[in-house]
């Protein structure tokens, strides 16, 4: 990795800012990026919420990335803004990289106060779009930033439209993941599945937007032709009880397994017959990329950047979101025609290696950092 970090970034202090620190896609991306940059020779500072879960700090433990925690008592806090500006000076931050709305605003202001470059990455949420004040604040923040990045082309289009920006102002950099192959089948033992049982795996927090209810409805439709099919869902959230109740009502209580938050996603994928992404909305989910690297056959909703990731359906089956019958038909096809399923998995792994390896994402961000630091007129370490 060191050879991929340019001279201006190597030795520089890069600050990474985020408002939340749970096990979500934006948080995981920040952890991967900061750790890789640290290993490549830069100094990295993660600025995280003081009253958060501590998950992100645990992910960064042992990487050498420094951590500072902010307190945001109210949406508009002069004290937090001043603390952030002082923290940048104390750590001699050369460039700040903020994730999502709140830190985009605070990070842009603190960077401007310290005359350092600022980068914003938006990961998929458009909760800013329905409030004019938020749209204006984000637009001003983007104006103070050297580069605005979206993780998908669809999100880049929405940002341009929502914030009245030229499309050229928003750069698309897809997320990347580390290829972590596994051959473990311990999940099947954990769930007491026989060799004849088939396992569908979904990974995503238990929120309505993830569409798990449609996966359970599809499972019910599959039961006559595939009575030995099970669904496992890795994630946590507000719908756990509702999904258990739905499984009972459908007579599927013994076939639906809510795994909770899991850190062993490669192992789960190794045990699955098909990976399912039934989401109603997405940017570019890391779980999808992990499934691609695992060569797991994929059935996914045609949302966000999923179609692009799956090469228009060449590396996975695309279905209309929120349609349980379409989801069931696609799953039936892969469960019935295993040769087709294996071929899709192979093509998905090839595409993941070519486009979505973590090194590709890091290299693209390093190029942005290098350009902004060069424009500033020297190495951030000075």
In the beta sheet, which residues pair with residue 148? 120, 170
DSSP-derived secondary structure letter, 235: B
Domain 2-176+357-376 matches domain 186-355 at the CATH topology level:
yes
* Backbone φ/ψ region at 173: left (φ over 0), alpha (ψ -120 to 50), beta: beta
Please name which of 200, 154, 149, 151 lies closest in space to residue 177, comparing C-alpha atoms: 151
- The structure tokens listed for 17 are 């800012």
Q: What is the Cα–Cα distance from 216 to 209, expressed in whole angstroms?
A: 14
Q: What is the Cα–Cα distance from 79 to 83, expressed in whole angstroms?
A: 6
Name the average pLDDT for the chain: 93
Q: Helices 338-355 and 324-336: crossing angle, nearest 10°?
A: 100
One of 3.40.50.1000, 3.40.50.2000, 3.40.50.2300, 3.40.50.2020 is the CATH number of 186-355, namely 3.40.50.2000
Say yes or no to pLDDT of 97 above 70.
Answer: yes
In the beta sheet, which residues pair with residue 276? 299
- For residue 379, the model assigns a pLDDT of 42
Say yes or no to pLDDT of 378 above 50.
Answer: no
Say yes or no to pLDDT of 235 above 50.
Answer: yes
Digit-coded pLDDT (tens) for 325-365 = 999 999 999 999 999 999 999 999 999 999 999 999 999 99
What is the distance, to the nearest Å, from the Cα of residue 329 to the centroid of all Cα atoms in its chain?
28
Please name which of 311, 314, 288 lies closest in space to residue 300, comparing C-alpha atoms: 288
Q: Do 183 and 270 meet the contact criterion of CB atoms below 8 Å apart?
A: yes
115 to 17, 78, 87, 370: CA distances (angstroms): 17, 19, 14, 16
Say yes or no to pLDDT of 382 above 90.
Answer: no
Q: Do 265 and 287 meet the contact criterion of CB atoms below 8 Å apart?
A: yes
The model's pTM: 0.88
Digit-coded pLDDT (tens) for 167-217 = 999 999 999 998 888 888 899 999 999 999 999 999 999 999 999 999 999
Q: So what CATH class is 2-176+357-376?
A: alpha beta
Phi and psi at residue 268, in whole multiples of 5°?
-65, -45
Mean per-residue pLDDT, 260-268: 93
Digit-coded pLDDT (tens) for 284-304 = 899 999 999 999 999 999 998
Q: Do 229 and 222 meet the contact criterion of CB atoms below 8 Å apart?
A: yes
- The structure tokens listed for 245 are 């109740």
- For residue 377, the model assigns a pLDDT of 65
Over its C-alpha atoms, the chain yields an Rg (Å, rounded) of: 22
Q: Do 247 and 216 meet the contact criterion of CB atoms below 8 Å apart?
A: yes
Q: Return the domain boundaries, the chain.
A: 2-176+357-376, 186-355
329-349 b/e (C-beta count within 10 Å ≥ 16 → b): bbbbebbeeeeebeebbebbb
């Amino acid at each position: 990795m060191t050879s991929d970090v340019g001279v201006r970034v190597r030795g520089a202090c890069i600050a990474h800012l985020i408002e939340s620190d749970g096990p979500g896609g934006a948080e995981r991306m920040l952890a991967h990026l900061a750790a890789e940059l640290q290993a490549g020779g830069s100094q990295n500072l993660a600025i995280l919420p003081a009253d958060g879960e501590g998950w992100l700090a645990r992910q960064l433990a042992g990487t050498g990335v420094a951590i500072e925690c902010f307190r945001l008592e109210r949406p508009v806090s002069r004290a937090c803004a001043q603390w952030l500006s002082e923290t940048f000076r104390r750590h001699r931050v050369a460039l700040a990289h903020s994730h999502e709305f709140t830190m985009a605003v605070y990070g842009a202001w603190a960077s401007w106060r310290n005359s350092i470059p600022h980068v914003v990455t938006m990961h998929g949420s458009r909760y800013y779009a329905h409030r004019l004040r938020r749209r204006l604040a984000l637009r001003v923040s983007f104006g103070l930033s050297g580069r605005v990045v979206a993780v998908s082309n669809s999100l880049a289009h929405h940002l341009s439209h929502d914030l009245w920006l030229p499309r050229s102002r928003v750069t698309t950099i897809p997320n990347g993941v580390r290829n972590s192959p596994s051959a473990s089948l311990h999940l099947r033992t954990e769930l007491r599945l026989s060799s004849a049982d088939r396992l569908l795996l979904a990974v995503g927090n238990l929120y309505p937007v993830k569409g798990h209810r449609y996966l359970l409805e599809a499972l019910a439709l599959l039961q006559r032709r595939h009575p030995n099919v099970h669904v496992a869902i890795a994630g946590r959230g507000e719908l756990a009880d509702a999904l258990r109740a739905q499984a009972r009502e459908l007579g599927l209580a013994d076939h639906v397994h809510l795994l909770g938050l899991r850190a062993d996603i490669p192992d789960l994928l190794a045990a699955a017959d098909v990976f399912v992404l039934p989401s109603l909305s997405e940017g570019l989910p890391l779980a999808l990329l992990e499934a691609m690297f695992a060569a797991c056959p994929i059935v996914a909703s045609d949302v966000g950047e999923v179609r692009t990731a799956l090469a228009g359906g060449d590396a996975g089956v695309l279905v209309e979101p929120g349609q349980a019958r379409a989801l069931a038909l696609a799953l039936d096809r892969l469960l019935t025609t295993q040769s087709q399923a294996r071929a899709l998995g192979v093509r998905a792994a090839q595409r993941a290696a070519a486009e979505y390896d973590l090194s590709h994402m890091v290299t693209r961000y390093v190029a942005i950092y290098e350009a902004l630091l060069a424009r500033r007129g020297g190495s951030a370490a000075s």
